[in-house]
Structure 1
């Protein structure tokens, strides 16, 4: 039986591949600028003179520095998305959430978050509670309830007071924001388990440490307690954390 030919093509002609439309690759986001605090080198010299553990610890990490990236709203939104789930799961949910919002994931707009309904947020992998938290965060920023332009002139406790008024943000999250986004030099996050563990290993031979004992160790680090905390974290995990 003769082979059936395609109209307009002779029998036994080699098959002609049909072009398949290929979606254009998504445009890569521009790199996010990072900022390193100007006080870092002075802080390292100060801590090395004042503290025997810091004197040994700081040189181990060479030129590594604390870096800040992104904007305030996006940084806090990421902290809410990542609560109580693994780093890998948090990144997956964040990518889906940012895609739903639209625009670069490094800089989301509060108004765009408020424009999303709950089913859309849930579809991105967010729990009902986290969806509520993100809405409350967006409303605080959109309404001006948080005084972002004044933060550089406000003290740490005043900023913490503003942030903990937002649902889903506690003192620990506010302190991480002070360290990693505003790069405040003298924050001692006593609710941070990594800090307590690092102080236990570095200063108390692994014995349990009370908050009062950790606070006493931290007093010697002033006015650069954020920097010392960063190095304590590095002593437990050499890879820096980005927020």
Structure 2
């Protein structure tokens, strides 16, 4: 089964293809250039980082991750499980996120979760396996599919930056319900991820 992915070899041509079909996306490239091809390694640390980014600013998530790195060096499941609750709090982790990360670490150490194996699974199977874990919902899986597995057809409907950029680019009122945006997003198949990266690029610019 062929997985729909993107890479440095085809990223710019996929951007051009979408821009050729959607004048609003073309306008983003004209005004701001191509987006960076954001990616992250397929590691425990990356999933910890994405969990930290849930419902907080990217800067505060990174501050917590950096504090954790200071504390334990390499961010591994073994090192994470050795921390006391006080040490987690010193790394700016809420009780909830501390629980999520410890659960994730235990799943990896037990072999219940196999991160390298995720790379060969279809998107929906990756989603099913990850959302079965405590503290991992659809937004976290969307970010993992996009940044780590480089799957080309993901639109994170739970991502405020992407959704707000879409509303602005397409001229929708701010109060537009997300369901009303679906026809636009569907029009970007099978490269919704590339459209998302263009929207994030617009948002950040």
* Residue 185 (structure 1) shift: 0.7
Task: Confirm whether residue 139 of structure 1 aligns to residue 110 of structure 2.
Answer: no
Higher relative contact order (CA 8 A, sep 6+): 2
Conserved? CA contact 1:48–1:55, under 8 Å: yes
Q: Deviations over 1:34-79 (max 9, x none)?
A: x954321221121022112112222333344222133331111012
Pick from 45, 58, 80 the counterpart of residue 74 of structure 1.
45
Pick from 97, 115, 133 the counterpart of residue 130 of structure 1.
97
Aligned residue in 2 for 1:192: 159
* Residue 205 (structure 1) shift: 4.4
Structure with more of its chain in helix, by fraction: 2
Q: TM-score, normalised by structure 1?
A: 0.74
What is the correspondence of 1:47-86 to structure 2 with a 5 Å cutoff? 47-86=18-57
What is the correspondence of 1:1-243 to structure 2 with a 5 Å cutoff? 37-103=8-74, 108-206=75-173, 208-238=175-205
With over 3 angstroms needed to count, the CA separation of the structure-2 counterparts of 1:195 and 1:167, relative to structure 1, is same
* Residue 99 (structure 1) shift: 1.9
Q: Secondary structure at the match of 1:213?
A: helix
Q: Deviations over 1:99-134 (max 9, x none)?
A: 22223xxxx221221222323222323222221111
With over 3 angstroms needed to count, the CA separation of the structure-2 counterparts of 1:235 and 1:137, relative to structure 1, is same
With over 3 angstroms needed to count, the CA separation of the structure-2 counterparts of 1:195 and 1:63, relative to structure 1, is closer
* Residue 169 (structure 1) shift: 1.4
State the aligned residue count. Answer: 200
Q: Which runs of 5+ in 2 are unaligned?
A: 1-5
With over 3 angstroms needed to count, the CA separation of the structure-2 counterparts of 1:200 and 1:92, relative to structure 1, is closer
Q: Which runs of 5+ in 1 are unaligned?
A: 1-34, 239-243
